[in-house]
Amino acid sequence: MAQVTLLGFWPSPFVYRVIWALKLKGVDYEYVEEDVLYNKSERLLKYNPVHKKVPVLVHAGKPIAESTVILEYIEETWPQNPLLPKDPHGRALARFWTKFGEDKIPALFGFFMTEGEQQVRATKEGQEQLRILEEQGLGDKKFFGGDEIGMADLEFGWLAWWLEVLSEVSGVKVIEAESFPRLYAWIQRFKEFPTIKETLPDRSAMLTYFKGRRATFLALAKS
C-alpha cells in the first residue's frame, strides 16, 4: 500500500476533518506536525506552494491540499465506510451543506475576532446561519447524512469541540441547548462517537492557544 502522510497543525479544525476521515475509513497514515505560524517547513512549501497552509495529504508522493478537496479524494480512493450516500441526490445534498459550511466560515467565526458592539452583531449573524443549518441541514436526523457520520458532519465537526473553546475565550454563548436543541444534541452525539472522541485535542491547550490568537486578532483590528 502506498504511503499516506498528513501535514497538519494540532489546533486546526480543518486538519481534524482529514484525521477523522482517515480513521473512519481505517487508513493508516503518518502525521507530521507543522509550525505554520512561525516556521513553515520546506516540505510544506513544496507540497502546497499556492496557499502554504495545512492540511496537506500526501499519497504515493502526490500532494492534495484544502480540507474539503482532501475529503473528496479520500472518499474516492478508499470507498470503504463511505462518507457520501449512494444515491446522487443524497450526495448532492451532502456537498451542498459542505459548501455552505465553507462559505459561512467568516460569519461563523466572526464573534471570535471582534469585541463590543461589533461582536454582538457578529454573534447574531453567526447564529442566523446556524439556525439555517439546524432547520434546513440537520432537521430531525441523527447526523447530517442520516444514521451515520458523513462528509457534512466532518465539515461541521469543529462546532462540537472548537466552538465551545472559542466561545469561552470570547465570553459569548453561541449555541445553547435551549436555543439550538437539535444542533446541540448533534454536537453531543458527534463528540462522543468513539473515533471522534479519541482524537480530540487537549482542551486546556486549546484555551491557551486561542486566547493568544484572539488577542492577536483584536490587536491587529486596532492597529
Is the pLDDT at 1 greater than 80? The verdict is no
Determine how β-strand 30-33 pairs with β-strand 56-59.
unpaired
Strands, E, within 53-157: which ranges? 56-59, 62-65
Residue range 145-152: average pLDDT? Answer: 95
The pTM (predicted TM-score) of the whole model is 0.96
- What are φ and ψ of residue 83, in 5° steps? -95, -15
State the Cα–Cα distance between residues 111 and 106, nearest whole angstrom. Answer: 9
pLDDT in tens, 26-78: 999 999 999 999 999 999 999 999 999 999 999 999 999 999 999 999 999 99
Say if residue 104's pLDDT is above 90: yes
Phi-psi label, residue 222: left if phi above 0, alpha if psi -120 to 50, beta otherwise: alpha
Indicate if the pLDDT at residue 182 is higher than 70.
Answer: yes
Mean pLDDT (the chain, rounded): 97
Give the pLDDT band (50/70/90) at residue 145.
confident
Please identify which residue in the block is written with the cell numbers 499556492: 50
User: What number is the average pLDDT over the span 129-151?
Assistant: 97
Give residue 148's Cα distance to chain centre.
Answer: 17
